[in-house]
Structures are given as structure tokens and as C-alpha cells.
Amino acid sequence: MQNAERPVFELVDVEKVFQVRKPGQRFGRQTVGLHALDGVRLSVGQGASLALVGESGSGKSTLLRVLLGLDAPTNGQALYRGRAIREARAGGSDFARDVAMVYQDARGSLNPRMTIGALLAEPLRRFAVVPEAQIGARVEQLLTRVGLPADAAARYPAALSGGQVRRVAIARALASEPSVLVADEAVSGLDVSTQAQLLSLLRRLQQEMGLTLVFITHDLGVASYLCENIAIMYLGRIVETGPTDAVLAAPAHPYTAALRAAAPSFFQPIAEPLPGEIPSPLDLPAGCRFSGRCPRVQGDCHASDPYLARAGEGRSVACLHPLASPQASALAGTFQD
Amino acid sequence: MTALLNIQSLTVDRGPARILDRVTLEVGQGETVALVGESGAGKSTIATAIMRLLGEAQTSGQITLDGAGDLLALRERDMVGLRGRRLSMIFQDAGAALNPSYTVGRQLISAVRRNLGLDKTAARARAIELMTQVGINDPEARLTAYPHQLSGGMQQRVMVAIALAADPDLLLADEPTSALDVTIQAQIVRLILAQTKARGAACIFVLHDLALASQACDRIVVLYAGQVVESGPARDVLENARHPYTRQLKSCVLEIGTRDLIAPEGTVPSHRDMPRGCRFATRCPRVQDRCWAEAPPLEGGAHSFACWNPE
Ligand SMILES: Nc1ncnc2c1ncn2[C@@H]1O[C@H](COP(=O)(O)OP(=O)(O)OP(=O)(O)O)[C@@H](O)[C@H]1O
Ligand SMILES: Nc1ncnc2c1ncn2[C@@H]1O[C@H](COP(=O)(O)OP(=O)(O)O)[C@@H](O)[C@H]1O
Ligand code: SF4
Ligand code: SF4
Ligand SMILES: [Mg+2]
Ligand SMILES: [Mg+2]
């Protein structure tokens, strides 16, 4: 680490277990533990950008709730600048001001009875970002920054399009002058043109304001455009992580490779898809949790559960038989136990 | 060869808003055609108009289905005979399209009975066969499942089975995979392509993703604000786009490794203040005086486009 400072976020073997009713039992009181997160290790430095990618149910939103301090990990440590996240969150407004969130359902996250101006003024007042007299001017500045006309301040969310509402949500997140922006599928479901507008906006903000970005997406194109690093999740685990370009150019985990192949690409034949569906987290296969769908599965995969281990420059993979990437094969001998 | 489906000058009005404006398009036997364009462009309206399920709207023009004549002129009774048999549709959200209070077996079997006139036993056998074809393991057991007991991908497979039950000539798939995970998306698109091909059926895919359209479809029809602005073989439209809007749409597609993204300015005009001439004029980098005054016609042969100043 060149940076002597503590990382913005650090997760050490984080586990999140939800108690749910036993499957098949409609009325019983017996519960079982559902591992939404299992042994997650992650470090996000100041100014870094990280994409979290995985199928639905893989644990992305749960991970985000842990990062935001909304859920406490069942086991392991979740740290914000060296301090337990829950503690940091409880200890005053600094955390809430520094770590801003953009929700997937932007419209649902905005009070429909408040004007856009009032919605933006609210965090400005709550965190006393500027003196009362300057609030109007700052609202206007925020609108300009996200590419909305100044007259949007007088309108209600219902009078804005889906893309504009997402811009408001981003402006609102930026109001407290955070250094960290956490976003859950902030551009999914939008038209490609609106998506392109928002992504270039986010990239500009990131460059101009040095924002640290944690971005959930299922779109590898979005991840590769916006984020320097990527973490691929499968059933509560991070199965591969590293620099986005390197990981996507030569995936080491068979699941990453499958995601990569499934991403639409002009005039390529549609790749042979993975068989089957993501299993229930209550009914994990023995050994590697990807073994039921993995094209490279071997006998030992059913016996031992691989964990995330180093596999080249800044990269890690949780697989007993990773794909040979140029880096991984060079380092195969140094695989840590 | 006569086209399977020929749409001429289809216009749809909802009150004062012209939702579709003189849409012309053709689908050959066994052909796969993609409808692409931004939200609100009219893609679903075209598919719904073909099924004649638009409800309140005012519709004019012709939708000619080979062997059935102009669908817009048919009596509702004759149209009922075509739906599910020669024409069928799959929607984006399979969960919403299936009835939550009936088992998937009951829904599939009743579709088979209705459309093929089979008795109960034969219909059940056919349902099991269909479920196997769409890749559902252990079909006998799955027949007794309720929709909520199946994943989104499985639900969409059931929808594909229902839609294909009567071997339709034309399948309309309105964003059948946009609610699904990428790996499941690929499974469903491949399934629809394989099953329509095996039956010699044609398919209209409504898609948001141009890259996916290029992978799945023979021809691409680009819509903007209710009009066809460009249409032709997938390669011509995407690699030699003549309409500025098609180029813009393509430049917004993020592939892995895309570094520069040219984000277009502005938004689609609302129906209240639609430009009089070319509807794209408010956002077009190549706009000229003439574009504001006169709407460009859709011209050309297999590859046609509507623009006064094409690329
Ligand atoms: N029932 C309705 N009543 C009034 N207007 C409607 C109705 N259905 C659709 N429209 C309007 O018709 C236009 C075309 O809608 P359509 O659903 O066909 O678009 P689309 O291209 O399928 O968009 P999307 O990509 O969002 O599904 C839009 O402006 C829409 O608001
Ligand atoms: N509050 C909760 N109670 C019980 N199970 C939950 C809860 N939140 C999430 N889960 C389960 O945890 C797993 C991961 O969920 P989530 O983090 O939402 O995944 P993603 O965001 O990747 O789709 C899923 O199996 C989900 O059903
Ligand atoms: S450990 Fe085995 S089953 Fe798991 S991903 Fe690697 S090769 Fe596949
Ligand atoms: S007709 Fe004019 S405004 Fe319309 S797309 Fe062509 S150049 Fe642009
Ligand atoms: Mg989620
Ligand atoms: Mg639609």
C-alpha cells in the first residue's frame, strides 16, 4: 500500500446469516440459517472504484447494506477507515455525510410530495453544508452538475422522466459532499442513451471530485467503463476479484468466464450458456458452490470448498482449477495455501 | 415469395397523441426480426397491434398475415382463432403473465387444449413434451408447481412452452429476457431461437440491446418516436447505418473494454410537442433547414432509411 491511510472500507471474513423458515414448512417455527454472505474479504481504498457483479441472489445488496452499516455482519469485521462500520454510523453524522447512497428504485426513494428543490435542500440543511442564505444557489449548482435545468427545482418527481429522476437521486447523494458513493443498479433498466448520459456523468464526477465508488451492476460493459476493480460474486462469496480489465480479458474463475461469454457482443454467436440456475443458498452443493454448473468441475471440487487466494497481480480467485490466464499460470507456483 | 407478415402504414392514435406513424415492415417466413429503439418508441405497441390487443386506440393501415388477410379488418371471432395458434406473444415479465393461483401444468394444459383441441390425456402428454423441449427437467413434477415456486428463468420457459404449444407461424417476444440474469438471458434467447427454427416459425423480438439484436436476428428495424427510421439486414443496419439516430444508438452500447462513450444530448420529444418535420431533428447532429419543415420518407430497398441528410 502506497497509502498510509486506512482503506475506506475493509471487510474481513464477513458473514451475514439470515434466519428463515425451514423450506417446505409453511407454518413451522423451526428456522435455518441462510448465508447471504460467506467469508467475504474486500478492501476499497480512497478514490478507488469497485464494481460488484453477480446474478440475483448472489448477495450484492446484502454486501451493500453491510457497507452502509444498515446490517451488522453476523461474523467477521466490517470497517470504515479502520473503525467498525456500525459504530461509525452510530457515532454521529460524519459517516452518513461522507458515504452517500444511490438506490436502484430512484423514484421510490424520493418523497413524491416534495419539489426537487426541497429534496435537494433537505440534506444541505441536515448536514449544515452551507448557510441557509446560500441554499438556493447550491441547489442550482447541484442541478447543473448532474445536467438538469434550473427550472427542475420547482417540479415534483412525477413530472420527471426515469433518467431525470435518477439524476435527482445522484444530485441528492452529492449534496452532503461525500467522498464515497455507493450505488445499487443505478443505471439498469434505462435506455442505452439515458444510461450513456448518466455513466459519463458519474465518470466525470469521479474524476473531478475524486469520489470513491462502489457500484453494483450486472452489466460487465458498465463495470468495465466505470470501475477500475471488479469483484464477482456467486452465492454469497466473492469468487474472483482484481483489476477490471485484467479480469475480463482473462477470467480465472469459470463463473467469471461464463458471465463474460454471456455478455452480448456484436455479431458473435450467442455463447453456449451455463447449464441450470443458481442453486438455493439453503441447498448448497458440497465442496465448491459452483460445482453443479461448472464446465471445469473435477472430482476434488465436490470435496473441498475453495476460498479466495492470490492469483497474480492484484488478483484473487476461489477455484481449485482456475483457467490459465497469463498471469495466473506464471504465479501458479506461489499459490498460497 | 410472399411475406408472412406485411405491415403497411400502420398508424395508432391514443387521443391526440400519434403513438405509431405510418409504420411499414415485413417479416418473411421463418425470419427473425428485431424491433429496437428507446423506451416509448412504440415497439410494444407494434407487437400488441399485431395481436390486435390495443384496446381503446384508433388504428389505421394494414397488417396482412399470409393466408388470413388484413388482421385489422377481421372480425374479433376470427382473430381469437389466430391468437395462440398462428400468432403468439411472450412478455417481458413472465411472473406477471402467468396466473399465480393455478399450477403451471393447468395453464399449459389448458393452452394446449384450447389451441390444439386435444382431450385431457393427449393434452397432458403434449404439455410434458413441450416442457421437455423448453429444457424443464422433471416435467411431470413441475406440472404441479405454482408459478411463484419457479425461478424467473423457469417461468419464462413455461411461457415459451405455452406460446409454442400450437406451433404458431409468428412468435412475438417483447423483451423476453430483460428481467433475467445474463446467464439465464442467454439460455432463453437460445431456446426461443432454436424452438422457432425447429418449427420454421418467424419471430419478432423486441429488444433494447443492439448487440443482442445483432446476435439473434436476421433483420433490424429501428424505431424513433413512433416511426421506422431505418430497417434492413442486421449487418447493413449496424455496420453501415445511414440514419443518424441508428449511429447514435449504436455508439451508446457499452461493450467490455469500451473507453469512450459519446452520450447523446437531450431526450425524445413528447407527443405534445413533436417536431413537424423529422422527429429526430431536435437531437440530430446533421440537421438541416429542410428537416424542420418536411418529414423524410422511408426509402430504399432491403436497407431503407428515412433521412434527408444520411450518413
Ligand atoms: N395504454 C396506453 N395509453 C396511453 N398511451 C400509451 C399506452 N400504452 C403506450 N402508450 C404510449 O405509447 C407510446 C409507445 O409505447 P410502447 O409501449 O409501444 O413503447 P415501447 O417502445 O415498447 O417502450 P419500452 O421500451 O419502454 O417498452 C409511449 O409514448 C407510451 O407512453
Ligand atoms: N432480510 C432478509 N431475510 C432473509 N433472506 C434474505 C434477506 N435479505 C437477503 N436475503 C437472501 O440473501 C441472499 C442474497 O440476497 P441479496 O443480497 O439481495 O442478493 P443480490 O442483491 O445479489 O440479488 C438471497 O438468497 C436472499 O433471498
Ligand atoms: S473449484 Fe472446481 S467446480 Fe469450483 S469453480 Fe473451480 S473448477 Fe469449477
Ligand atoms: S432528416 Fe435531418 S434531422 Fe432527421 S435524421 Fe436526417 S439529418 Fe437528422
Ligand atoms: Mg439486489
Ligand atoms: Mg415495451
Average pLDDT (A77-94) is 92
* B121 Cβ under 8 Å from any chain A Cβ: no
- Averaged pLDDT score across all residues of chain B: 91
Residue B148 domain flag: no
> For ligand 4, what atom is nearest to the CA of residue B284?
8
Cell of A263: 455478455
Q: How far is B185 from chain A (nearest CA, A)?
A: 8
Q: Do A193 and B38 touch (CB under 8 A)?
A: yes
- Averaged pLDDT score across all residues of chain A: 88
Residue B118 domain flag: no
Check residue B267 and give its pLDDT. Answer: 78
Question: In order along chain B (311 residues), what is the average pLDDT of each group of 10 residues?
Answer: 92 91 95 92 94 92 96 95 92 82 92 88 92 86 87 86 91 86 84 92 92 95 96 97 95 88 82 89 95 95 96 92
Check residue A335 and give its pLDDT. Answer: 34
Q: How far is B255 from chain A (nearest CA, A)?
A: 5
Q: Do B182 and A55 touch (CB under 8 A)?
A: yes
> For ligand 3, what atom is nearest to the CA of residue A288?
4
State the Cα–Cα distance between residues B195 and B203, nearest whole angstrom.
10
* B203 Cβ under 8 Å from any chain A Cβ: no
Residue B144 domain flag: no
Residues of chain A found within 8 Å of residue B94, distances taken between Cβ atoms: none
Residue A336 has pLDDT above 50, yes or no: no
Q: What is the distance in A from the centroid of ligand 3 to the CA of B182?
A: 20
Q: Which residue of B has its CA nearest to A277?
A: B184
* B181 Cβ under 8 Å from any chain A Cβ: yes
What does the pLDDT look like over A213-238, one tens digit per residue? Answer: 999 998 899 999 999 999 999 999 99
pTM of the model: 0.87
Count the domains in chain B.
Answer: 1
Q: How far is A40 from chain B (nearest CA, A)?
A: 22
CATH of the domain at B220: 3.40.50.300
* A258 Cβ under 8 Å from any chain B Cβ: yes
Residue B48 domain flag: yes
Q: What is the distance in A from the centroid of ligand 3 to the CA of B31?
A: 40
ipTM: 0.87
Q: What is the distance in A from the centroid of ligand 6 to the CA of B174?
A: 7
Ligand closest to Cα of A21 equals: 2
Residue A328 has pLDDT above 50, yes or no: no
Residue B105 domain flag: no
Residues with CB under 6 A from ligand 4: B 243-244, 278, 280-281, 284, 286-288, 291, 296, 307-309
Residue B272 domain flag: yes
Task: Name the pLDDT band for A25 (thresholds 50, 70, 90).
Answer: low
Residue B107 domain flag: no
Q: Which residues surround ligand 5, an ion (CB under 5 A)?
A: A 61
What does the pLDDT look like over A253-279, one tens digit per residue? Answer: 999 999 999 888 999 998 888 887 778
Residue B278 domain flag: yes
* B253 Cβ under 8 Å from any chain A Cβ: yes
Residue A3 has pLDDT above 60, yes or no: no
* Residue B78, domain extent: 3-100+167-305
What does the pLDDT look like over A151-210, one tens digit per residue? Answer: 899 999 988 877 789 889 999 999 999 999 999 888 877 788 888 888 998 898 888 889
